[in-house]
Amino acid sequence: ETFVRLPSKGQMTTSDRFLRARGRRFCGMYREDCGGSRAFTPFKFVQMSDTQLGMEATFVDYDQRAVLGHSRELELVQRAVEEVNRLRPNFVILCGDLVDEMPDLPGASLERRPDMRVREKQLMDFKAAFSMLDDAIPLVCLCGNHDIGNRPNAVSIKDYKETFGDDYFSFWCGGVRCLVLNSQLWKDDTDAKEERIAMEVWLDSELDSSVADAANDGELPRILVFSHIAPFIRDPGERSDYFNLEMEVRQRLLEKMAHKGVVAWFSGHYHRNAGGVFRTDSRELEVVVTAAVGTQIFDSEKPGSEPLGLSGIGGHTCDFSASGFRIVTVEADRIEHHWTTLAELAEWPYLGKRVCECCEAM
């Protein structure tokens, strides 16, 4: 296999930054970039979700949306990039819904046809903001429903891949295997059954490979998973609705992943912080649901509203005191994570230090 190498520091192009996920691997974070070693080294990363430029405008009348635009969300994203540069994690991963305007898919059940001029502007501003990320910090993007559509198909996935790279892939950091998944294929595969089956075959292969590696080393496998939609929001047995995966799909995936070494599953989509733990036999899998870098959602207090569905949306805010990201530290015996707002980050007096030796050379 031929491994693509990154350009020297300061020479990274847009393609180098946003198209690093190719061939189901992430350039610069192959195991081979760590010397082929599976030895564990502590590391830290930043998990973001739902930059979703343009979402705030969807809460106003349609004829006012162009006036509001996405300037406030863009300001939040720009500040987030500044803070990541200051913290200097081993990587930053953005768990879907990069922009708000949907791709224009035939048969899509939307109130109106998406405006491709609006979408292109959102994508352009998104890329401009993240182009300010330090070249030494890998940016890992994954797709959400606003990136490939609520009912994705081969065309929408192809368009995403041409803009941001593969829709599912693996990478390594600190001797830990990380799996990035296209959760929309589990949410609605009506027009993408072949793609969903192909991803599940690939996923099984990755999980089996990790189990085999761990057996050879005499250790238990340790895998991190990332997707846009969480398997559940607070409880593995909760009802199925808009913000989680269907019960049958959820249970099948959680059982499989827990038994094959997945210890944490990070996601977004909910625009609020949540999460819980799935337990089976002697294994535990923590699900971490991370709120938005962009527009945040408030729970509805109306009687009969469903927190797991769209009726549970009671309001929104787009503000430095509410929006933020999650800082995750992976140690030999534990994973620690902390949500922080952009306003809180501005008060931090210190500069973070990168700790994963295998990533220092990138």
Backbone angles phi, psi at 325, to 5 degrees: -155, 175
Is the pLDDT at 275 greater than 50? The verdict is: yes
What does the alpha-carbon distance between residue 298 and residue 1 come to, in Å, rounded to a whole number? 48
What are the DSSP calls for 74-110, one per residue?
HHHHHHHHHHHHHH--SEEEEES--BSSPP--TT---
Instruction: List pLDDT tens digits, range 35-49.
Output: 666 788 999 999 999
Long-range contacts of 176-179 (CB under 8 A, 24+ apart): 176/40, 176/43, 176/222, 176/223, 176/224, 176/330, 177/206, 177/210, 177/221, 177/222, 177/223, 177/224, 178/223, 178/224, 178/225, 178/226, 179/203, 179/206, 179/223, 179/224, 179/225, 179/226, 179/262
Q: In this structure, are residues 210 and 171 in contact, taking their beta carbons and an 8 Å threshold?
A: no
- Alpha helices by DSSP H, listed for 218-336, are 247-259
The predicted structure's pLDDT at residue 4? 45
Which domain covers residue 220, as residue numbers?
14-360
Could you tell me which residues come within 8 angstroms of residue 212 by beta carbon, excluding any fewer than 6 positions away?
none
Q: What is the DSSP string of 125-192?
A: HHHHHHTTS-TTS-EEEE--HHHH-SS--HHHHHHHHHHH--SSEEEEETTEEEEE--THHHH--TT-
pLDDT for the residue numbered 127:
97
Band of residue 359 on the pLDDT scale cut at 50, 70, 90:
very low
Taking residues 121-142, report their average pLDDT.
Answer: 96
pLDDT band at 335 (very low <50, low <70, confident <90, very high): very high
What is the reported pLDDT for 220? 74
- Minimum mean pLDDT range among 147-161, 264-278, 307-321, 342-356: 342-356
Give the pLDDT of residue 107.
Answer: 58
* Per-residue model confidence (pLDDT) at position 1: 36
Looking at residue 120, its amino acid is: E
Q: Is the pLDDT of residue 67 over 80?
A: no
Of the candidates 260, 179, 256, the residue with the CA atom closest to the CA atom of residue 215: 260
At residue 260, the pLDDT reads: 94
- Region 1-9: mean pLDDT is 46
162-215 tens-digit pLDDT: 999 999 999 999 999 999 999 999 999 999 999 999 999 999 999 999 988 888
Residue 266 scores a pLDDT above 80 = yes
Per cent of the chain over pLDDT 70 is 86
Tell me which of 156-165, 189-198, 270-279, 350-359 is least confident: 350-359
Q: 210: which residues sit within 8 A by CB, 6+ positions away?
A: 177, 221, 223, 260, 261
Q: Is residue 252 in some structural domain? A: yes
Residue 34 above 90 pLDDT?
Answer: no
pLDDT at 330: 97
Residue with tokens 């500044």: 82
The CA distance from 241 to 306, in Å, is 9
Does any domain span residue 1? Answer: no
Q: Does residue 297 fall inside a structural domain?
A: yes
pLDDT above 90 (res 63): no
CATH of the domain at 107: 3.60.21.10
Q: Is the pLDDT of residue 5 over 60?
A: no
pLDDT band at 11 (very low <50, low <70, confident <90, very high): low
What is the average per-residue pLDDT within 263-276? 98
CB-based burial, 42-71: b 16+ in 10 Å, e otherwise: ebbbbbbbbbbbbbbbeeeeeeebeebbbe
Mean residue pLDDT of the chain comes to 89
What share of the chain in percent tops pLDDT 90? 75
pLDDT band, residue 18 (cuts 50/70/90):
very high
Q: Region 120-134: what's the mean pLDDT?
A: 96
Q: What average pLDDT does the segment 331-346 reach?
A: 94
The predicted model scores a pTM of 0.91
**pLDDT score for 115:** 87
For residue 64, what are the CA distances in angstroms to 76, 119, 176?
21, 17, 47
Phi–psi pair at 87, nearest 5 degrees: -75, -30
Neighbour count for residue 36 (Cβ, 10 Å): 9
Task: State how many domains the chain has.
Answer: 1
